[in-house]
Amino acid sequence: MNPPKKKVKFAIIGSGAITEESYLPAAETASNVVVTHLVDLDIERARDVAQCFQIPNFINDYQEIFGKVDAVVVATPPNSHAKISIDCMNNGLHVLCEKPLASSVEQAKDMIEACERTKTHLGIGMVRRLSWSAQILKKLIASNLLGNIHRFDIEEGWEFNWPLRTGHLFQSKNSRGVIEDTGPHLFDLLFWILGAENAEVKSCRDDSRGGIEANALIELAVESSSQKSTGRIELSFTRRLRNTMKFYGERGCLEAETVGANEVFFYPVGQNDEPLTLRQKDPMPKKKNEDFVLQLSNFAASVLNGTKKYIPADEAIATMSLIEECYHLRTSIVQPWEMKHLENFFGEKNDE
């Protein structure tokens, strides 16, 4: 008879939508994970979610978990990530932190310093790297299928429908919008797939008007040891966009969905109408939160075995730098209704 598989005891800090919709269902499936504590400032919310997922302990002060668990998932608003994570690492706990890693590069570096000093694991929840299509895109580009890559074009946008449990995303004075929310996923995929080492924001236009942006258009250049590529990333909380990543090279174009899929499309040069479709061989029906299960399981395995089967926090620095640069360079985007007004205005002047 095989001995029972050892499990890592987790606390999840923050009981919002990402915890209820993704992390807790994933923890129920991951064989080396057990969630023993749920923490939230709203104790009634923590109680309700804990009871739904049969978690034995719910509390409103994360310091009460010290000495009682092995690791934590930090799933609170971004401006609290650094303090909570550093406190946990200082008390010997391993940390898997939701994106974005922190609210600034300086905070992110403080987190990494604490990780190195305490010899704990600090991972960042960039779960989209685990999708089949993202993995294949990276392998195909690394194989030089496209030759020299000169351009990329990435779009992701939906009418915002995430089941928020609080209004922090839109109400806090420290809140930011679609660049900080969706941007980390796409910046990270861009860096990782291209093996980029440096990036420069050429322009960032959004509709914040001094508030929280819901639409943004970013033009940037990324550089690896072998090539430099330029392109655009368009983001939206208000409208559906193409929701794919496109990479253009000397021999054609590769395209895949930004959120992950079982297909990647290749458009050879001169044959841009009908792509060659690469499909995952005999894919099993994708289970909800499958990538979160793998992410949690990999992190737990790292805690148990001393390996590093997760995305380390230092790989988030480039993404954090890009986000800061976007907000530093931001200008106002011209909306379609504004352009129509300008066209009418100048049209009337030209008629005089």
Give which of 141, 111, 125 is closest to 185, Cα–Cα.
125
* Residue 274, pLDDT score: 86
DSSP string, 191-246: HHHHT--EEEEEEEEE--TTS--SEEEEEEEEE-SS-EEEEEEEEESBS----EEE
Q: How far apart are CA 188 and CA 318, in angstroms?
A: 8
pLDDT for residue 302 is more than 90: yes
* Residue 129, pLDDT score: 97
Are 232 and 245 in contact by the 8 Å Cβ rule? The answer is no
Count Cβ neighbours within 10 Å for each residue of 93-124 and write b for 16 or more, e otherwise: bbbbbbbbbbbbbebbbbbbebbeebebbbbb
Q: How far apart are CA 243 and CA 311, in angstroms?
A: 24
Residue 41: burial class (beta carbons within 10 Å; 0-12, 13-18, 19+): middle
pLDDT band at 37 (very low <50, low <70, confident <90, very high): very high
* Residue 251, pLDDT score: 95
Give which of 172, 173, 183, 307 is closest to 236, Cα–Cα.
183
pTM of the entire predicted model: 0.90
Q: How far apart are CA 316 and CA 324, in angstroms?
A: 12
What average pLDDT does this structure show over 12-27?
Answer: 96
* Residue 350, pLDDT score: 46
Domain range list for the chain: 8-124+294-311, 131-280+318-332
Which secondary structure element, helix H or strand E, spans residue 10, and what is its range? Answer: strand 8-13
pLDDT for residue 346 is more than 50: yes
Which CATH number is 131-280+318-332's, of 3.40.50.300, 3.30.360.10, 3.40.50.2000, 3.60.20.10? 3.30.360.10
pLDDT for residue 352 is more than 50: no
- Residue 218, phi then psi, degrees to nearest 5: -120, 130
Q: Residue written as tokens 């779960």? A: 127
* 2-6, 39-43, 158-162, 296-300: the lowest-pLDDT one: 2-6
Interval 54-70: pLDDT, tens? 999 999 999 999 999 99
Alpha helices (H) in the chain, listed in sequence order? 17-18, 24-29, 43-52, 81-90, 105-118, 132-142, 168-171, 178-181, 183-194, 290-305, 317-329, 336-351
Q: At what angle do helices 183-194 and 317-329 cross, to 10 degrees?
A: 120
Q: How far apart are CA 123 and CA 120, in angstroms?
A: 10
Q: Of residues 262 and 347, which shows the higher confidence score?
A: 262
Length of the chain as a residue count: 352
What average pLDDT does this structure show over 86-94?
Answer: 98
CA 226-311-149 angle, 5° bins: 25
Are 297 and 282 in contact by the 8 Å Cβ rule? The answer is no
Are 50 and 198 in contact by the 8 Å Cβ rule? The answer is no
Task: Check whether the bond before 268 is cis (ω within 30° of 0).
Answer: no
Which CATH number is 8-124+294-311's, of 3.40.640.10, 3.40.50.720, 3.20.20.100, 1.10.10.10? 3.40.50.720
* Residue 196, pLDDT score: 92
Interval 193-247: pLDDT, tens? 999 988 999 999 999 987 899 999 999 999 988 889 999 999 999 999 999 999 9
Asked whether the domain spanning 131-280+318-332 has the same topology as the one spanning 8-124+294-311, the reply is no
Interval 309-345: pLDDT, tens? 999 999 999 999 999 999 999 999 876 666 655 556 5
Interval 155-188: pLDDT, tens? 999 998 767 666 666 655 666 899 999 999 999 9
pLDDT band at 271 (very low <50, low <70, confident <90, very high): confident
* Residue 224, pLDDT score: 86
pLDDT band at 351 (very low <50, low <70, confident <90, very high): very low
